[in-house]
Structure 1
């Protein structure tokens, strides 16, 4: 199977740029990391479920950094490729549903006869 992206190289480059951003605006990075820690501190969802949700959100927001980080975390949490695929299927269906719903908004805005 051919790779679409070299995720290890992407991860290394993103980490370097993250260090640069931290040097330029440490309070921003500190706040972002605090938000991530807060979201990871749950009482009702296990780590694998959180990561599967994160992957579904990552593809709907088109965030490569999120995909990279949460695939790695999902693997550590024990998520299989099959479980990831099912979570991605939910996200794909919701994106299609959102497009369908907004198509109705367009027809509504266009007015009817």
Structure 2
């Protein structure tokens, strides 16, 4: 990883993110209120336990490259009792899906080439 993408101090990053969140909340409180309601709604499930939800959240955080999401959901996964081994397996699914998506979109490139008379 490069210095630009690697977070050396996750606790400092998390604290700075919370401060930015407070600033943004003051600027657009209704948006944050709606986001909070959405998050609470997603966390209120009948069939998935907290650990499973955090596996899903971490996989999505990785695929969307959301460092704040990684920070928050790594902490929540740990609090829910997830082990590094379990998290690694969940992230393996994210890696495989990203590879599958790249493969599928490669087919679209071939289709585009055929459709433009390049094939």
Q: When the two structures are superposed, what TM-score results if normalisation uses the length of structure 2?
A: 0.90
Aligned positions, number: 111
Equivalent residue in structure 2 for 1:62, among 50, 58, 65 = 65
Aligned-pair CA distance for 1:4: 4.6
Aligned-pair CA distance for 1:6: 1.1
Q: Distance in 1 between matches of 2:68 and 2:41?
A: 19
The within-5 A match list for 1:1-113 is 4-111=7-114, 113=119
Computed over aligned residues only, the root mean square deviation of the Cα atoms, in angstroms, reads 1.2
Return 5+ residue gaps in structure 2 as ranges. 1-5
CA gap 1:4/1:11 in 2 versus in 1, 3 angstroms: closer
Return 5+ residue gaps in structure 1 as ranges. none
Q: When the two structures are superposed, what TM-score results if normalisation uses the length of structure 1?
A: 0.95
